[in-house]
Amino acid sequence: MKVLVIGGGAREHALCRSLSLDPDVSALYCAPGNAGIAEVAELRPVDALDGDAVAALATELGAGLVVVGPEAPLVAGVGDAVRAAGIPVFGPSAEAAQLEGSKAFAKDVMAAAGVPTARSYVCTTPEEVDAALDAFGAPYVVKDDGLAAGKGVVVTEDRAAARAHALGCDRVVIEEYLDGPEVSLFAITDGVTVVPLQPAQDFKRALDGDEGPNTGGMGAYSPLPWADPKLVDEVMELVLQPTVDELRRRGTPFSGLLYAGLAITSRGTRVIEFNARFGDPETQVVLARLRTPLASVLLNAANGTLDAEPALVWREDAAVTVVIASHNYPETPRTGDPIEGLAEVAAEDAPDAYVLHAGTRREGDAVVSAGGRVLSVTATGSDLAQARAKAYKAVARIRLDGSQHRTDIAAKAAEGR
């Protein structure tokens, strides 16, 4: 099978790495890709938001499966355009991707499906904003209704800041604050059958100790030794299956990757948000642990035959990924800096540790930074402590001027805290 992956971050590198190891995959393409993905897939330039262009490329390549990585193309209907060209797509329709594209839509689906989530108000006027802020009190949680590439959510004790963010959006969801640890649980679905993956935890803040600004994610690990062993079953029953059933009932079935961002609160598990695609950087650790070849699972989801897929097989290993970000990330990341040490990791640390590229490109013989998150250094080990040690050993070999990374990814969990 020929597979085309759309996107060009570390998530797509992780997807391409797994697909490249799958004997069912005869040719692998990625558009637009990045310098690291170029080592496992053939890159093609494309405007990932242009459905007709992606469909034409998939047709030209003879792709038997298109995997759409990021949310923006899904919300823009790229999946629909490729499906209309008769090619199976892993990724939801634009309508179903509204589960991520609109926080208000997601809340409506959750209410209809009885899925536990924070109580919320959808507000469009300053009066409604004030009433909602007062109803919940601090800490305030204010979410831009639309896609905002990780910048749409403000959580703050400062009422004026919460109000200012709300008034800067056309439509906002203001909701109750949820405390407790966060878990990301992904499920693959064809719109009927739902297959959960292993849970992971993401580190959203830029600095050690969960300080500093929110980011796209600075690291992740899996499994979660502290989590209730029944968590996956519980979330399947209370969240994932009811959500998939509700979208099918509405005539907009969701196929692809359903990502539940969860808070484990003292009053039970609550959904913080849904995403309509694999999470980044959690995908890097989840796929590092998956033994089952990926292509047939994704194709069965795309074709509506996921019930025929045998149970997924997981490694006993733990996985940790540490993101190396550029100077001044997330505010105004500097790009164009040369990256050194990649060959040393490949020579000394593989196969247990490897570097997945996020924002990189090739400039002559050099690989240079091309985004805020630059690399996602991933390692597996017999437990989290070992996986962590291997990941940080590889991180130490990478030289990128002005770069930053967190030093405490998975530290608490590895110590049993």
Residues of this chain that interact with ligand GLY (CB under 6 A) are 202, 217, 275, 279-280, 282
* CB 196, CB 240: distance < 8 Å: yes
Which residue from 159, 204, 334, 362 is in contact with ligand AMP, where contact means CB under 6 A? 204
Residue 258 as a binder of ligand AMP (CB under 6 A): the answer is no
Q: What distance separates the 2 farthest-apart alpha carbons in the chain?
A: 61
Of 22 and 202, nearer to ligand GLY (C-beta) is 202
Q: Match 């890097």 to its residue by tokens.
A: 284
Which residue from 22, 175, 282, 337 is in contact with ligand AMP, where contact means CB under 6 A? 175
Cα four-point dihedral sign 61, 64, 70, 73: positive
- 182's contact among ligand AMP, ligand GLY, none, with CB below 5 to 8 A by partner kind, is ligand AMP
**Rounded least distance, CB 198 to ligand AMP, Å:** 19
- 217's contact among ligand AMP, ligand GLY, none, with CB below 5 to 8 A by partner kind, is ligand GLY
**Rounded least distance, CB 291 to ligand AMP, Å:** 29
Which residue from 1, 56, 112, 155 is in contact with ligand AMP, where contact means CB under 6 A? 155
Q: List the x/- string, 107-136, binding to ligand AMP by CB under 6 A.
A: -----------x------------------
Residue 144 as a binder of ligand AMP (CB under 6 A): the answer is no
Whole-number Å distance between alpha carbons of 35 and 368: 9
- 250's contact among ligand GLY, ligand AMP, none, with CB below 5 to 8 A by partner kind, is none
Of 118 and 185, nearer to ligand AMP (C-beta) is 118
Which residue has the closest beta carbon to ligand GLY? 279
**Rounded least distance, CB 151 to ligand GLY, Å:** 12
Q: How many residues does the chain have?
A: 417
- 280's contact among ligand GLY, ligand AMP, none, with CB below 5 to 8 A by partner kind, is ligand GLY
Q: Candidates 38-46, 170-178, 304-312, 364-372 — which segment interacts with ligand AMP by CB under 6 A? A: 170-178
- How far are the Cα atoms of 100, 142, 170, 200, 260 from residue 284, in angstroms, in the given order? 20, 29, 34, 10, 16
- Encoded tokens for 378: 């991933």
Residue 96 as a binder of ligand AMP (CB under 6 A): the answer is no
Residue 261 as a binder of ligand AMP (CB under 6 A): the answer is yes
**Rounded least distance, CB 29 to ligand AMP, Å:** 30
Q: Total residues contacting ligand AMP (rule CB under 6 A)? A: 13
Of 217 and 333, nearer to ligand AMP (C-beta) is 217
Which residue from 61, 153, 324, 342 is in contact with ligand AMP, where contact means CB under 6 A? 153
Backbone torsions φ then ψ of 31, nearest 5 degrees: -135, 125
**Rounded least distance, CB 130 to ligand GLY, Å:** 29
- 153's contact among ligand AMP, ligand GLY, none, with CB below 5 to 8 A by partner kind, is ligand AMP
Q: Candidates 34-42, 152-160, 295-303, 334-342 — which segment interacts with ligand AMP by CB under 6 A? A: 152-160
**Rounded least distance, CB 205 to ligand AMP, Å:** 8
Other Cβ atoms within 10 Å of 134 Cβ, number: 9
Strand pairing category for 268-275 and 89-90: unpaired
Whole-number Å distance between alpha carbons of 44 and 29: 7
Q: Candidates 5-13, 150-158, 278-286, 387-395 — which segment interacts with ligand AMP by CB under 6 A? A: 150-158
**Rounded least distance, CB 265 to ligand AMP, Å:** 9
Of 275 and 380, nearer to ligand GLY (C-beta) is 275
